């Protein structure tokens, strides 16, 4: 089949790899002149890692496998720890933290030269019979048997297929970065929780640490420089928040305002399907954006392998998992008023008494419930 993918993000490139390996002729149209390598780090949960392994992506030397995922109170009290080896034992793959740029480049390098056409901005398409005709802004025309919109949150493919679905700002931003740091996390990814909100830290390989702080974000952002704002809000928190904030410079922080789609039942129309943020942009909390994009790709490949007629099951199969992931990513954060009980130090202290096994079981259950791929 001739397959045209719009968008060379992680979703589009992963789909291209899998479809090419399945024997299809694939072309990717990307509006930018080169790979868009901005962004911080991505956490791949066992489902994301499994899909990448299925695609034959060589993950060696990429990022860092955290030894555990831990929760601390803002005062630094350990609340719970989930050993990564437990996740691997139950779900078949370990989590992996990787710079978005490095994953993107690794996927791109797996494709034959010329697969991605840069500087090609999708404008419109028409479907005639079983064929699709795509036109770009510069007037280039491409024919295909299947069109996949992987063109991100403001997807033009989606708008052309069934009307725009403009993502809504959630009123929260993730202020994040990826920096060389001497802070020794002992290989763990850590989340801190307190009255001011939540924040996360973890190793990303090559002596780098990724970090994020979720903060309320009015339409024009808060007054002052983002780093100043973080120091005011989180400066009183314990290690590693306090220590990292002291190390950072203004250039180290990037503001990533969060958006969310209402995810409809329909995931495609005729010979056009959508994957990733084009279908379901969600806040990066709980690292679901990339994992859900990879889940889409995995389901799409599996169905296409069973026959073209099976593609009608794509949306119905993914809907529940993607909606749950989006709900967790949006409502799991501890940013908006009113404050929840778990943001208070005494309740966190009580939680620390709970057996570690129940936290592991809860994460395993969540990861299974948001996946179509995990056992």
Ligand X SMILES: Cc1cc2nc3c(=O)[nH]c(=O)nc-3n(C[C@H](O)[C@H](O)[C@H](O)COP(=O)(O)OP(=O)(O)OC[C@H]3O[C@@H](n4cnc5c(N)ncnc54)[C@H](O)[C@@H]3O)c2cc1C
Which residues form the interface with ligand X (CB under 6 A)?
6-12, 29-32, 36, 38-40, 42, 100, 121-122, 150-152, 156, 176, 256, 276-278, 284, 289-290, 293
* Rounded Cα–Cα distance for residues 350 and 353 (Å): 6
Shortest separation between residue 351's beta carbon and ligand X, angstroms? 26
Nearer to ligand X among residue 123 and residue 361 (C-beta) = 123
Shortest separation between residue 298's beta carbon and ligand X, angstroms? 14
Record the tokens describing residue 114, joined without a space: 């010329």
Nearer to ligand X among residue 298 and residue 360 (C-beta) = 298
The residues facing 125 across adjacent strands are 134
Query: Which residues of 188-247 form beta strands (DSSP E)?
Result: 189-194, 197-203, 208-216
Nearer to ligand X among residue 51 and residue 79 (C-beta) = 51
Shortest separation between residue 6's beta carbon and ligand X, angstroms? 5
* Rounded Cα–Cα distance for residues 117 and 109 (Å): 14
CB 176 within 8 A of CB 40: yes
Nearer to ligand X among residue 276 and residue 315 (C-beta) = 276
Shortest separation between residue 78's beta carbon and ligand X, angstroms? 25
**Coil, strand, or helix at residue 35?**
coil
**Coil, strand, or helix at residue 21?**
helix
Shortest separation between residue 349's beta carbon and ligand X, angstroms? 31
* Rounded Cα–Cα distance for residues 192 and 330 (Å): 17
Nearer to ligand X among residue 100 and residue 188 (C-beta) = 100
Shortest separation between residue 100's beta carbon and ligand X, angstroms? 5
Percentage helix, strand, coil for the chain under 3-state DSSP, each rounded to 5: 35, 25, 35
* Rounded Cα–Cα distance for residues 202 and 181 (Å): 11
The CA-CA-CA angle for residues 6, 172, 178, to 5°, reads: 70
Nearer to ligand X among residue 100 and residue 318 (C-beta) = 100
């Amino acid at each position: 089949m001739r397959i045209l993918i719009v968008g060379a993000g992680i979703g589009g490139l992963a789909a291209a790899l899998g479809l090419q390996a399945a024997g299809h002729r694939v072309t990717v149209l990307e509006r930018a002149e080169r790979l868009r390598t901005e962004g911080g780090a991505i956490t791949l949960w066992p489902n994301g890692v499994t899909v990448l392994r299925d695609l034959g992506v060589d993950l060696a030397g990429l990022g860092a496998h955290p030894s555990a995922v831990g929760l601390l109170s803002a005062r630094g009290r350990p609340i719970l720890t989930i050993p990564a080896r437990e996740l691997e034992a139950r779900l078949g793959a370990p989590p992996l933290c990787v710079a978005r740029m490095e994953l993107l480049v690794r996927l791109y390098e797996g494709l034959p030269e010329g697969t991605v056409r840069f500087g090609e901005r999708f404008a419109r398409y028409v479907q005639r019979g079983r064929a699709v005709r795509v036109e770009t802004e510069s007037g280039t025309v491409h024919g295909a048997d299947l069109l996949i919109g992987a063109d991100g949150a403001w997807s033009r493919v989606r708008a052309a297929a069934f009307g725009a679905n403009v993502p809504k700002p959630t009123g929260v931003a993730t202020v994040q970065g990826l920096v060389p740091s001497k802070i020794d996390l002992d290989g763990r990814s850590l989340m801190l929780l307190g009255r001011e909100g939540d924040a996360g830290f973890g190793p990303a390989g090559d002596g780098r640490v990724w970090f994020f702080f979720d903060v309320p974000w009015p339409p024009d952002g808060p007054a002052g420089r983002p780093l100043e704002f973080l120091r005011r809000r989180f400066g009183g928190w314990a290690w590693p928040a306090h220590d990292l904030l002291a190390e950072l410079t203004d250039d180290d922080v990037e503001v990533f305002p969060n958006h969310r789609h209402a995810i409809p039942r329909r995931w495609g129309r005729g010979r056009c399907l959508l994957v990733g943020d084009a279908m379901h942009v969600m806040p990066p909390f709980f690292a679901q954006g990339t994992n859900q994009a990879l889940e889409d790709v995995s389901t799409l490949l599996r169905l296409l392998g069973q026959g073209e007629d099976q593609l009608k099951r794509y949306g119905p199969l993914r809907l529940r998992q993607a909606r749950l992931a989006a709900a967790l990513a949006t409502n799991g954060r501890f940013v908006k008023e009113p404050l929840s009980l778990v943001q208070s130090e005494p309740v966190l202290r009580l939680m620390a008494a709970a057996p570690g096994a129940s936290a592991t079981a809860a994460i395993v259950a969540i990861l299974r419930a948001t996946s179509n791929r995990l056992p």
